[in-house]
Amino acid sequence: MAVPRFTIDEVFEMAEQIERNGANFYRAAAEGFDDEKLKDWLLKLAKMEEQHEKVFQKLRAEVVTKADQKPIVFDPQDENVLYLRALASGKVFDVNEDPAGKLTGKEELAEILKIAMGLERDSIIFYVGMKAVIPPNRGQDKVDWIINEEMKHIALLYMAS
């Protein structure tokens, strides 16, 4: 069975969707609280995710060319591709599923924080795999920056719990 391959463009689109999902989640979570300070904090996290999406959009525009529409790395056993496919397929998490849609607006802060930490962790896992399929001179440093940002989000969420 042939393993479907990703192009750089497709990988960046998945990363952008992850960031959109994160921003949507934090905005939806903010709507469930009356405390203005808490709302503002969650909306700040949403803005951070929006900033990450813009970084990926910019990076995508800088590195994606027509030549990039072919499979991207030498991966004779298809391990990196299988890893990303497993992540993106919904077997690990589904980049196309908006986690905000699961919120009822009645969640306690502890539950929101737990869900958010899981989403941030899943993002990091995806970006580590993404980094493995992006050539070093094509934006790995920017993916590292995003990974570090997502790790900071986990720290912020942990401190709030």
When pLDDT is cut at 50, 70 and 90, the band that residue 76 belongs to is: low
Taking only the tens place, the pLDDT of each residue in 109-139 is: 999 999 999 989 988 988 888 787 777 777 7
Tokens 């899981």, residue? 118
Give 3's pLDDT tier (boundaries 50, 70, 90): very low
Q: How far apart are the first and last CA of the chain?
A: 46
Tokens 């391990």 belong to: 79
Which CATH number does 8-160 carry? 1.20.1260.10
Q: How far is 89 from 97, CA to CA, in rounded Å?
A: 10
Contact 56, 8 (CB under 8 A): no
* Contact indicator for 116, 157 with CB cutoff of 8 Å: yes
Q: Please tell me the least confidently modeled range out of 1-15, 44-58, 95-109, 111-125.
A: 1-15
Mean pLDDT of 91-116: 82
Whether the pLDDT of residue 82 is over 50: the answer is yes
* Domain coordinates in residue numbering, the chain: 8-160
**Rounded distance, CA 85 to CA 5, Å?**
8
For the cut 80, the answer to whether the pLDDT of residue 50 exceeds it is: yes
